[in-house]
Chains A and B, each alone.
Chain A
């Protein structure tokens, strides 16, 4: 994975506020349906799972299918009641796991 994951998470929020989180990971998302010039199937290589946890508790997760385009961009909302850390995880077909974290402070 050459590129770092992209995140947009507010640094601060009010207690109980619903915030918007944006995530994007650079990935080819090869469907496994295409053929190369020689007519051979290009093997499937996608991110098949994305999860987001806050202080160890699940917030959001998604099973991703081959129909999702390259560089999957996932946007969702979460309610924050306390300061803490969001942990984002992307799982690839070959088992590669990419994780990144972002802190948020409740003011």
Chain B
């Protein structure tokens, strides 16, 4: 017991630059008053008001839930009764199920026989290739596509009708098409079959600067470290010995009483630099991301272990955990819907693998080969939300702090390896 307390004290002490830890040491070592790290406490730590990246979809999703507010229309309480058999255009239905302009298409989650030429369907939902033989009533099919929550409150399926992605006639067309599905899918290539597609494994050496351009941020940060800010001092003025920061980043994010929120490496970099060197390194600026990569790079190989015991951290952790279950956006997905193996986690959404929560933090900020840039975890959160047709929050949002603390706690025990490299 005593050993485990000491172990956690060791980690706590390492990032003590920022918090007073005198009480933790009582009885073990002479109480030592540590100076709090200077932080600029005013205003936002990211562009304010936040404006979405211009090359991201600009649709307005303010009618739906975000991590900060509840706005989505309620789920229907009752099944919508049909007056007669459903009528519609099966050919149009076949087109709609493969239409990727409205939320990724049905094929993103379901194998559906030859629909969309059985081209890389996903397997988050059941294989519907023989749904036409399942003896389902028209009414059941129509309601299930329109809003599956009337039958299954736990479903991860988007409420296509209730959330206005497809109108009544379009849903009828899709149902008429579904009833024609009576034969197993034939795949042109083995990899088109999601049950046979092997999970992707990242084998590149993410710390080799010839393989991972994300490593260049480390060099950029080492230069920035020595550049004097408006106050005439630089990072190196106080932190000439970066080895002293070896375990700082693995204990981040942490609850910061002065701001009454969880502060990440990125937000800390902005507020600390602003208060000391005077540099204006807003979150998600190139400088901020480079520093955030570098501070974690220094901690590479160390074990991620965040504080979840202080009253503020405990409350933030509980809020973060709750947020992972909140349904967001027009597609009505919660974090857990895609990243909990009991739901969509460790399955395919179209050709993309949905990872579980563990393993989704230790390599951030990460180089994205498909985008040729380094993304921190907050940008990843933002993109998740825009992708599921929800409005994102600014990078410094309190809710993201809660969520990041929870994610870090799930990744507790993993070794930091930053910058990562991912698709």
Contact = CB atoms under 8 A, between A and B. Distances in A.
A73 B210 contact: yes
B372 A70 contact: yes
User: Which of B209, B210, B219, B372 gathers the greatest number of chain A CB atoms within 10 Å?
Assistant: B210
A26 B372 CA distance: 10
Where chain A touches its partner, the secondary structure class is loop
B372 A6 contact: no
B213 interface: yes
A71 B213 contact: yes
Contacts of B210: 6, 8, 22, 24, 73
A71 B421 CA distance: 15
Interface string A5-47: 0101000000000000010101010000000000000000000
A3 B213 CA distance: 10
Interface in B205-226: 209-210, 213, 216, 219
A53 to B, nearest CB: 21
Contacts of B213: 26, 71
Interface in B344-403: 372
Given A22-B210, A24-B210, A3 B216 contact: yes
A79 interface: no
Contacts of A71: 213, 372
A52 to B, nearest CB: 16
Contacts of A70: 372
A4 interface: yes
Contacts of B219: 3-4
Contacts of B209: 6, 24
Contacts of A3: 216, 219
B363 to A, nearest CB: 19
A56 to B, nearest CB: 26
B273 to A, nearest CB: 21
Interface in A68-102: 70-71, 73
Contacts of A8: 210
A40 B191 CA distance: 36
16 contacts: A3-B216, A3-B219, A4-B219, A6-B209, A6-B210, A8-B210, A22-B210, A24-B209, A24-B210, A26-B213, A26-B216, A28-B372, A70-B372, A71-B213, A71-B372, A73-B210
Interface of B: 209-210, 213, 216, 219, 372
Interface of A: 3-4, 6, 8, 22, 24, 26, 28, 70-71, 73
Given A8-B210, A71-B213, 14 more contacts: A3-B216, A3-B219, A4-B219, A6-B209, A6-B210, A22-B210, A24-B209, A24-B210, A26-B213, A26-B216, A28-B372, A70-B372, A71-B372, A73-B210
